[in-house]
Amino acid sequence: MKRLAQVKNYTASCGLYCADCNRSKTELIALASTLEKQLHSIRFDKYAAYKAAASPEFGEYPVFLQVLQAISGLGCETCNCKSSEVSCHTRKCVLSKRLQGCWECPEVATCALLEPLKQRHPFLEHNHNCIRQFGIDNWHNQRGKHYSWD
């Protein structure tokens, strides 16, 4: 079970739970980057080309490398809302209104800043209701699914 401080720290200003997002998995991203560098340093592309004659799956190495590079490039690009550099428009708005998060704002239902998030995360309003009902320290067990396969 997450400690209460962690729950609050993982709750973004917009109402998303940061720990749910694959972009927040810094260990995974670092491992992918390390693997990519290691493969490059041993010139694995040459080995894969050589092995492809006997094992056709090695012929797919360039595609694998593209996916690995894409994973390495992941990171919390959408909000970065917990950093000291406030680059998230939603967080800027919340801070300017002296709120804990969007769930406290009377204009949340019609907020244009949240529209792009609502399209990708249709449960966002559910999260806001859960935070209001259970409090920022206790809402996470009631939150909506972050990904459709969860």
Using CA atoms in the order 15, 20, 21, 24, what is the torsion angle rounded to 10 degrees? Answer: 100
- Residue 92 and residue 120 in one domain: yes
- Range of 26-30, 102-106, 143-147 with top mean pLDDT: 102-106
Q: What is the pLDDT of residues 83-133, one digit of tens each?
A: 555 568 888 899 999 999 999 999 999 999 999 888 888 899 999 999 999
Question: What distances in angstroms separate CA 11 from CA 8, 35, 36, 48, 132, one per listed residue?
Answer: 5, 31, 32, 43, 13
**92 inside domain:** yes
**80 inside domain:** no
- Residue 97 and residue 138 in one domain: yes
Is the confidence at residue 81, as pLDDT, over 50? Answer: yes
**39 inside domain:** yes
Cα 34 from Cα 40, distance rounded (Å): 10
- Residue 94 and residue 128 in one domain: yes
Quote the pTM value. Answer: 0.69
- Residue 96 and residue 136 in one domain: yes
**68 inside domain:** yes
- Residue 128 and residue 92 in one domain: yes
- Residue 10 and residue 45 in one domain: no
**150 inside domain:** no
**129 inside domain:** yes
User: Residue 13's domain spans which residues?
Assistant: 4-18+85-142
The pLDDT score that the predictor gives to residue 1 is: 44
Q: In whole angstroms, how large is the CA radius of gyration of the chain? A: 20
78, 89 Cβ separation under 8 angstroms: no
- Residue 10 and residue 41 in one domain: no
Cα 23 from Cα 76, distance rounded (Å): 5
Tell me how many domains the chain contains.
Answer: 2
Q: Which two tokens stand for residue 92?
A: 């800027």
- Residue 32 and residue 14 in one domain: no
- Residue 90 and residue 57 in one domain: no
- Residue 8 and residue 49 in one domain: no
